[in-house]
Chain A
Amino acid sequence: MKASLPMSNSSTVATDNRKRVLQFLGKHGILLAFLLCMMIFSLTTDRFLSTGNLLTVLMQVSILGTIALGVTFVVIGGNLDLSVGSLLSFATVLVVDLHDKVGPTQAIVLTIVFTLIIGAINGTLVGYLKLNSLIVTLGMLSAIQGITLIYTSGQNVDIQDQENTWFAFFGREAIFGIPVPAIIFIGLAIILQVVLLKTAFGRKVFAIGGNGVAAAFSGIYRNRMVFSTYLLSAFTTACAAIILGSRVMGSQNNVGQGYELQVLAGVILGGTSLLGGSGSIMRTVIGILILGFIQNGLLLLGYPYYAQWLVTWVVIILAVWLDIAAKRGRLLNDF
C-alpha cells in the first residue's frame, strides 16, 4: 500500500474503500471480465464449453493474436502500428506464391526477411526520423497494400497440390489434439511475455514508453529500441501470415484488411495503455480471447455476426474506463 497520505478534510472510510475496490478492479478487472463472459455464454449455449469449440476459437483468434503480440511491444514503447493489416496481406501472398516457386522452406525464410525489411522502414521513419507513428503507419498501410497488388498484379495466389506439402503443418495439423496455430500463438505469447518481463530488452521497452527522455538520459539508445519494436511487430505479422497461408493454402490481396484496428482493440482491451510504458503480453492475449469468445458465443446463440460489434464497443470502453478510474481513484472526471 502506498505511504498513507494524510487525507484532506473528508477522509471518510467510504472514499478509502471505493479507492481500494477501484484499484482491485483496475488490476484484475480484465480477468474478471473474461471469466464473466465465459460464464454467460456457457450458461446460455450448451455447445460453448465443449473442448472442440474452445479449441476452434483459440485457432481462429491465433492469427489476430499473434500479430497483437508484436503490436503490444510497439504500444508499450509509446507508438502505434496501423500497417499490420496490409503487411499481413503482403506476407501471406508472398509465402503462398513463393511456396510453389522455391519450395516451402525458402518461401518461409524469404517471407520473414521481406516482412522484416518493411518493418525496418517503419522503424526508421518512426525511430530514427522521429515522425508521428500514427500517420507514418497509416501511410504505410496504403503503400504496402499497393505493393502487394503490384506484386500479384491483382491475381489470387494458390498452392497447387495442397495435399502432400509439409507446409500444411502450420495451419491444419494438431499435436495432442491442440491445433498448431493455437500452439504457435500461445507458445510465442509465453516466450514474448518472458522477454518483456525478464530480459533487458523488455525492461528498456517499458523505459522508452514510460519516459523516453529519462530512458535516453539513462544511456538507452531510444531510436534503436523503437526501431526494434517495429521489427518485432513485423516478425509476429510474418508468423501470423505463415499460419494463415498454411490454413487457407491460398491468399487474396486484401486478406488482412481491417486487422490493424482489431489488433489495437485487443491490445487496448487487455489494458495496455496507448500512452506507453505499461501493459503486458498476457493481458493482450486475454483481450484477444475476449474478442474471439464474444464473436463465437454470439454466433452460437444465433445472433448475426455483426451483433458482436455492438458488444465489443461497450466492452472496450468499459475496460479502459475501469483501468483509468483505478489509477485516478475516482470514477468520473470533475473538470
Chain B
Amino acid sequence: MHAFIQSVKRQPIWLFIIACIIFFSFSNEYFFAVNNFQNILVQTSTIGLIALGMTFVMINGNIDLSVGSTVALAASLAVGLQGALGIPMAVVIGLGAGVLIGAINGLIVWKTGVDAFIVTLGAMIGVRGLVFVYTEEQSFYASNFAYSDFGMSSIFSLPVLALIFIALTIVAHILLKYTLHGRNVYAVGGNRKAAIEAGIKVGPHMLINFMLIGFMAALSGILLSTQMGASTPNLGRDYELWTITAVVLGGTRLNGGAGTIIGTLGGVLAIGILRNGMNLMQVPSFYVLVIMGSILITVLFLDKRLNVTASKGVQI
C-alpha cells in the first residue's frame, strides 16, 4: 500500500484522476458504473496505445508528430485489403506499414541528424498524402461483419479493446522498466554524452523506439477501424497533439530523461475521464475545448512550480 501512496505522491496526475472521479460521480448518476468505466477504457485506448509508444520516444529525447497519419494508413490498409487477402493478412500488412513508417522516421533522425520534430512533421504531411493516394479520398468499409464484431465484442464481460490496452500497458511498463532497451532509453534521454561514452549505441535505440511507436499507432488505427467497421481518409487528425498532451500530463519531460508508463496511463485516463464526464454532464463542446486547453497549461505551471528549484535569488 505504501508503494502505491509513494508512486501517487510522485505523480500528481493520479490525484487529479481520483478528484475527477469523485466529482463526476456526484454530479451525474450514470458516471459511477462498471460499463461506463469500460466505455472510458475503450474510448481512451485509441490515444492510450499511441501514448505508450510516445512515452518511449519522448523519454529518449525525441517526439513523433506522424502518429495521426499512421493511424489512418494502417486503418485504410486493414479495411481496404481484407476483402482480397482476408482479415488476418490485411491486419498484418497494416501493422507492417506502421512499423515501416517508424523505421523510416527513425533512420532519418539517426543518420541525417535532422530534429525529430521536423522529420515527423514532414512524415505527418506525407503519410496523409499516402492515405489519400491509396484510398482516393474514399472511405473504406468492412463488408465482413466479423471485423466490426471484434471491435464490439467482450471476453468474460470485459471489452476486447480494453483488455488489449491494459495488456499492452503492462507489456510497455515491463519493457521500459526491466529490459536493457528500456534502461538505455533513459540513459540516452537523461545524459546522451554519458551514454555514448559508456558505449551505448544511441542510433539503434532511437530506431527501435520509432518502430515501436509506428507499430502502436498502426495497432491503434486498426482497433479503431474495428470499432467503426470502416476507415476514413481523415482518421486520426490531431491525434498527435492529444497524445503529446496525455504524455506530458503524465509527467514525462519534453527534453527527455524522465517519465513512466504509469504516469502516461494517468495522463490518458485523465483526458478520457474529463471528456466522458463532461459529455455526461452535457457541457457544450465549445467549453470542453477551453477546459482541456487550460487544464494542460495549469498542470504545466504546477509541475514547474514543484519540481524546478531555481538557484537562490537569481532574477534574470
Contacts and interface: CB of A to CB of B under 8 A. Distances in A.
A and B in contact, CB less than 8 Å: yes
A245 B126 CA distance: 30
A211 B169 CA distance: 40
B164 interface: no
A136 B300 contact: yes
A194 interface: no
A141 B289 CA distance: 9
Contacts of B291: 146
Interface string B247-287: 01000001000000000000000000000000000000111
Interface in B122-154: 122-130, 132-133, 136-137
Contacts of A317: 108, 112, 114, 118-119, 122
A268 B292 CA distance: 29
Contact of B300 (A135, A144, A320, A328): A135
B306 interface: no
B248 to A, nearest CB: 6
B15 interface: no
B117 A143 contact: no
Interface in A320-335: 320-321, 324-325, 328, 331-333, 335
A132 B125 contact: no
B202 interface: yes
B133 A310 contact: yes
B118 A139 contact: no
Nearest to A315: B122
A130 B310 CA distance: 12
Interface of A is mostly: helix
A328 to B, nearest CB: 7
B22 interface: no
A299 interface: no
B128 to A, nearest CB: 6
A149 to B, nearest CB: 4
B307 to A, nearest CB: 13
Contacts of B113: 321, 324, 328, 333
Given A134-B254, A268-B118, A310-B133, A139 B293 contact: yes
Nearest to A333: B113
Contacts of B136: 304
A38 B203 CA distance: 37
B36 interface: no
B241 to A, nearest CB: 6
Interface string B170-181: 000000000000
Contact of A142 (B119, B127, B289, B300): B289
A294 B202 CA distance: 36
A136 B111 contact: no
Contacts of B290: 142-143, 146-147, 150
Nearest to A309: B129
Contacts of B126: 309-310, 312-314
B112 A325 contact: yes
B156 interface: no
Given A154-B286, A312-B122, A143 B294 contact: yes
A274 B115 contact: yes
B37 interface: no
Interface in B62-90: 65
B19 interface: no
Given A134-B254, A316-B122, A310 B129 contact: yes
Interface string B98-123: 00000000001011111101110111
A58 B132 CA distance: 26
Given A146-B287, A307-B133, A309-B125, A132 B118 contact: no
A265 B121 contact: yes
Contact of B125 (A222, A313, A325): A313
B125 A265 contact: yes
A2 B33 CA distance: 71
Contacts of B112: 317, 321, 324-325, 331-333
A320 B297 contact: no
Interface of A: 82, 125, 129-132, 134-136, 138-147, 149-150, 153-154, 216-217, 222, 261, 264-265, 268, 274-275, 304, 306-310, 312-314, 316-317, 320-321, 324-325, 328, 331-333, 335
9 contacts: A139-B300, A142-B296, A146-B287, A274-B118, A314-B126, A316-B125, A317-B122, A325-B112, A331-B112
Interface of B: 65, 108, 110-115, 117-119, 121-130, 132-133, 136-137, 196, 201-203, 241, 244-245, 248, 254, 285-294, 296-297, 300-301, 304, 316
8 cross-chain pairs, A with B, having the tightest CB-CB distances, nearest first: A313-B126, A143-B293, A146-B289, A309-B129, A146-B290, A306-B132, A142-B293, A149-B286
Given A129-B304, A143-B294, A146-B291, 6 more contacts: A129-B301, A132-B254, A265-B125, A306-B137, A316-B122, A335-B203
